[in-house]
Amino acid sequence: MIDDTMLEAMDKMDKAVEHTQSQFGTVRTGRASPALVERITVQYYGAPVPIQQLASISVPEARQLLIKPHDRSSLEAIEKAIRESDLGVNPNNDGIAIRLSLPQLTEERRKEYVKVAKNMAEEGRITLRNIRRDARKDMEAEQKEGDVSEDELTRAEKELDKVTSEHVEAIDAAFGRKEHELIEV
């Protein structure tokens, strides 16, 4: 029973770390990355659709994104969605594709992005702690039912704490890489 709880908690923690790392990809650095626009949704025939389902996204230059819609009628909707997003970039529409030129980041803007990434990392850590708390509750409930001895519960809680700290370290390492990437000129 405890093994199932541990496996489930570890699986959830792995997914939480992956999610946090993918969130870091949405924070803009000086370089262009398709991840910057992947979270943008476009109103397409009255339904919100992720931009990557409507267009191909490529990086022709280090600080430029090229968004080429599969259906040209969606061009204006994509342009509107990019304008309304928090990306802070003005799209250039040439009738066939949209080009996004990313300007060089200022020192002040870099610090703001580090704060954003720091908040994302903290949200990831909070998620990990919540998963640990829920797993502990499940284990304690099993112990109260008499399925698990006190010693087994103590060992399992120590193992759970160890697994949690490993996942927190993974988030911290990913944040450190992102912070270095943001500060780097």
Residues of the chain with CATH 3.30.1360.40: 35-101
Domain 35-101 has CATH 3.40.50.720: no
**32-62: pLDDT as tens digits:** 788 888 888 999 888 999 998 999 999 998 8
Report residue 23 as tokens: 């969130």
- 33: alpha, beta or left? (left if phi > 0; alpha if psi -120 to 50): beta
pLDDT at residue 111, as a whole number: 87
Residues of the chain with CATH 1.10.132.20: 2-25+106-183
Going by pLDDT thresholds of 50, 70 and 90, the confidence category of residue 171 is very high
Closest-CA residue to 39 (of 29, 27, 26, 30): 26
Amino acid at 98: I
The maximal CA–CA distance of the chain, rounded, in angstroms, is 70
Q: Say what percent of the chain tops pLDDT 90.
A: 49
Helix axes 107-144, 2-25, angle to 10 degrees: 170
CATH code given to domain 2-25+106-183? 1.10.132.20
**50-96: pLDDT as tens digits:** 998 999 999 998 888 999 999 888 899 999 998 888 777 889 999 89
